[in-house]
Amino acid sequence: MRQASVERKTKETSVSVTVNLDGTGVYQVSTGIGFLDHMLEQLSRHSLMDLKVQASGDTHIDFHHTTEDTGIAIGDAVSKALGDRRGIVRYGSAVIPFDETLTRVALDCSNRPYLVWRVVVPQAKLGEMDTELFREWFAAFAQGAGLTLHIDNDYGVNSHHIIESCFKGVARSLRQAIEPDRRLTDQVPSTKGVLGGSL
């Protein structure tokens, strides 16, 4: 079982994360930010990654630090669980419809973090959460997990639908990318023999 736990403590936040990449999408999530909890539950359920997250932070200031550090910690745990990424499919993609919204996601477990974010969210807030923070979450997650991650919302009107389709798209793409490759069970999926570093 590919599992990992990460503890991240700063003067601003305290985050504890456990992941099981070979799970069934079971989650226990508590960040103190309701909408973020809802999105992380989507990430778990649709990737089939079991996910435990316990986070607290300086939300009396704003939600930025808790959002970002949660992304970093979950990403770190995913990277740790993947190890040298031997025997995985490596690439994943998904096209996610959600009512009037359509979002496309493609990712590479390259160990070269990069985020392309082509998403416009009409509302400034969802619940109490600033919608600009979702880009920060995905950037932090991509950095921690070592993902080249492209998220492109083709169209949409409802901000909730737009953001949720992004999380579901990343979840489905991640599920595909980290799946064991039956034809390359003991090999790193790269001609270099290692993932990461320079192109």
Distance of alpha carbon 179 from the chain centroid: 16
pLDDT, mean over the chain: 93
Other beta carbons within 10 Å of 191? 5
* Residue 6 DSSP SS3: strand
What's the pLDDT at 183? 75
Look at residue 55 and tell me whether its pLDDT is greater than 70. yes
Percent of the chain with pLDDT over 90: 83
Domain-embedded: residue 132: yes
pLDDT in tens, 71-103: 999 999 999 999 989 889 999 999 999 999 999
Residue type for position 120: V
CATH number, domain of 50, equals 3.30.230.40
Look at residue 199 and tell me whether its pLDDT is greater than 50. no
pLDDT in tens, 186-196: 766 655 666 67
Domain-embedded: residue 193: no
pTM of this prediction? Answer: 0.93
| Sign of the C-alpha dihedral computed for residues 22, 24, 28 and 32 taken in this order | positive
The residue among 194 and 171 whose pLDDT is bigger is 171
Residue numbers of the domain that contains 40: 3-177
Look at residue 135 and tell me whether its pLDDT is greater than 60. yes
Domain-embedded: residue 130: yes
CA 143 → CA 4, 43, 59, 115, 193, distances in Å?
Answer: 17, 17, 23, 8, 21
In total, how many domains does the chain have?
A: 1
What's the pLDDT at 141? 98
Domain-embedded: residue 195: no
| DSSP type of residue 73 | H
Vertex 190: Cα angle to 184 and 192 (nearest 5): 130
CA 107 → CA 55, 82, 112, 146, 159, distances in Å?
Answer: 26, 15, 11, 10, 23
